[in-house]
A and B are shown apart, each in its own frame.
Chain A
Amino acid sequence: AQSVTQPDIHITVSEGASLELRCNYSYGATPYLFWYVQSPGQGLQLLLKYFSGDTLVQGIKGFEAEFKRSQSSFNLRKPSVHWSDAAEYFCAVGATGTASKLTFGTGTRLQVTL
């Protein structure tokens, strides 16, 4: 069965600092990988996704993520964080062939200090 681990429950960074959120997955075949963001009172919004090809994927709001098969990781990065990035971030894995039946991690809550 597929699974996702987000080892950091809560992260605090200063505005303008770089950010990396960790995600490790377990899946037997080539996974579909996703990062979603949830702002307070809002639904989950897709930041980016990886299906195949280039292992460095660009997303919205200046985020990127890198798929590393050897490490079973799909870490999310942003070079300079803005105060509006404060939210909860979820990594998810989907079985090959679907982007809708997903397994999510427990989330990382990002706090941004000014």
Chain B
Amino acid sequence: NAGVMQNPRHLVRRRGQEARLRCSPMKGHSHVYWYRQLPEEGLKFMVYLQKENIIDESGMPKERFSAEFPKEGPSILRIQQVVRGDSAAYFCASSPTKKQGADEKLFFGSGTQLSVL
């Protein structure tokens, strides 16, 4: 049973280019979360998605960032016109259900390191 798969592991982009980060949740998981870890900071919540729906995007920057989780295929975090400040590790997590509280559990991927030149 494969874990949460993220690719690529490392992504290098020049300023102004687009970055697309992919996340395949664990089998049977229908909830996906994206977190970002800026240098010298802790992971910060960005967005929570279910299949074909954005549930909570309160942590997403207002511009250039978007996320989707289509009916088929992986979740995609898209960053348009990247800037140096977007350089960070982007982590995806999934969970099987949205049980509240003690039963809720996240499974994290190993992250995508984005470097903007």
Query: Which A positions have Cβ atoms within 8 angstroms of B?
Result: 4, 6, 32, 36, 41-46, 49, 51, 90, 92, 97-107
Contact = CB atoms under 8 A, between A and B. Distances in A.
B106 A99 contact: yes
Nearest to B5: A43
B102 A43 contact: no
Contacts, number: 68
8 contacts: A46-B105, A92-B42, A97-B101, A100-B31, A102-B45, A102-B106, A103-B42, A104-B37
Contacts of B83: none
A54 B111 CA distance: 33
Nearest to A6: B42
Interface in B26-45: 31, 33, 35, 37, 40-45
Contacts of B95: 100
